[in-house]
Amino acid sequence: MTVIGTGYLGITHAACMAELGYEVLGLDINAEKVRQLNNGELPIYEGGLDELLRRGLESGNLKFTTSFQEAAEFGDVHFLCLGTPQVGGGCAADTSQLDAAVEALAPHLERQCLVVGKSTVPVGTAERLAHKLIDLAPSGAAVDLAWNPEFLREGFAVKDTLSPDRIVLGVRTEAAEKTLRDIYQPLGDIPLVVTDFATAELVKVAANSFLATKISYINAMAEVCEAAHGDVMALAEALSYDDRIGRRFLSAGIGFGGGCLPKDIRAFMARAEELGAGEALSFLREVDAINMRRRARAVDLARELAGGSLENCAVAVLGAAFKPDSDDIRDSPALAVAKAIEQEGGLVSVYDPVALDNARKAYPELSYAGSAIEAAQGARVSLLLTEWSDFTELDPEEFGSVVAARNIVDGRNVLDPVVWRAAGWNFRAPGRP
């Protein structure tokens, strides 16, 4: 099989399929990335993936190329794992990488094969690409297409790929269904939903929209708690004992970010609008707005602790990644808050255990430190914005010994306010008294 596109999804899928014993050829148009991967260097931080990549390369099951011709000759099945970012200046998803990959691959498809889309796409994309493949491939209708969305979470990518909650197959032929069932058979008894293209495409954005809604729901409760002097943490705990609600994705804080949730809800709204079903998803606009307000709230809390102005205030920011156990800073709430504080005149020093290189490239105007303690030297306000375990385990006395003032915003609601206040800290957190 081939895996076209070696981003988060592609590298993980390729390495996991090689681990299952398949012969896998990964393809990327970025020659430097292909060189790195062939040398066993992982261009992203993802626990356990480096080991799988090395094992795949050593066994000979896994290799990488830039050649679409080689991929077309090699593969019986071609997985499309291209990125679909938000278009510049709009909300829709940009599917140009997918289109470009299909246009580059199809002219080399001389025999029967199955192309399998895994990317998150606007509903209708699979139908369009199926026509494109048939039009452009020399083997024409012998090229079948299926849509098989991916649900992996960064930080758990390998586990989510090898033990997924479910497998969704959007197929048009029994042959495609059989091929994919056979491919995933080694994963064991995983719930499998076989459906049409449109439903398979929709499942993915529906799942991410639900998760985003859950987070914004609890963050909306946090806003009300702030107005009413309630405590969102106790509220979430009380809600969680109802099995129908549960506790997962009910952590209030500075909201969701990353390369998926924010852009997926926007792309979903944009596509629904095109289909004349925009009204059905108008609540997602509110989900997005609540989420963005949480970032502003963290800045408000920092400003209050600074005595009303952040101008020339030394501020320690703990966390740059959009969530822990990842070096991904795409739409990171932590960096958005850091940047907003800097724009108000704050002197921001950021530390993150793995995302510093990425953060430096994207926000060269911020200052960076080599440790949490270094970032906190002389800080008048500290903010915990990504809940890395290094930060949740911070000792308030040790941390307090280097700051200029014991003021902290716990943007992720992971510290114990009783312990921190007992150590003399002014402690503020979203949704808490």
| Active-site entry in 81, 225, 260, 313 | 260
Min separation Cβ 205 and ligand UGA, Å: 9
C-alpha 150/C-alpha 177 separation (Å) is 16
Q: How far is the CB of 257 from ligand UGA (least distance, A)?
A: 4
Q: How far is the CB of 58 from ligand UGA (least distance, A)?
A: 28
- Establish whether 91 is a catalytic residue: no
Tell me the closest approach of the beta carbon of residue 217 to ligand UGA, in angstroms.
10
Which positions touch ligand UGA (CB under 6 A)?
120, 151-154, 208, 211, 215, 249-251, 253, 255-258, 260-261, 322-323
Q: Which residue lies nearer to ligand UGA by CB, 151 or 184?
A: 151
How far apart are CB 431 and ligand UGA at their closest, in Å?
12
- Encoded tokens for 414: 């992971």
> Where does 39-173 have alpha helices with state H?
49-59, 68-74, 96-105, 125-136, 157-162
| Complex with ligand UGA: residue 213 or 251, whichever CB lies closer | 251
Residue 185 carries which DSSP code? G
Pick 102 or 152: Cβ nearer ligand UGA: 152
Under DSSP, the state recorded for 278 is: G
Using only the alpha carbons of the chain, give its radius of gyration: 23
Number of residues that this document lists for the chain: 433
Please identify, using beta-carbon distances, which residue of 28 and 154 lies nearer to ligand UGA. 154
Q: For the stretch 88-119, what's the b/e string if a residue is b when 16 or more beta carbons lie within 10 angstroms of its beta carbon?
A: eeebbbbbebbeebbebbbebbeeebbbbbbb
Q: Which is nearer to ligand UGA, 111 or 166 (CB)?
A: 166
Q: In 3D, which of 345, 352, 312 has the Cα closest to residue 329?
A: 352
Closest by Cα among 76, 59, 55, 4 to 34 = 4
Show which residues are catalytic: 260
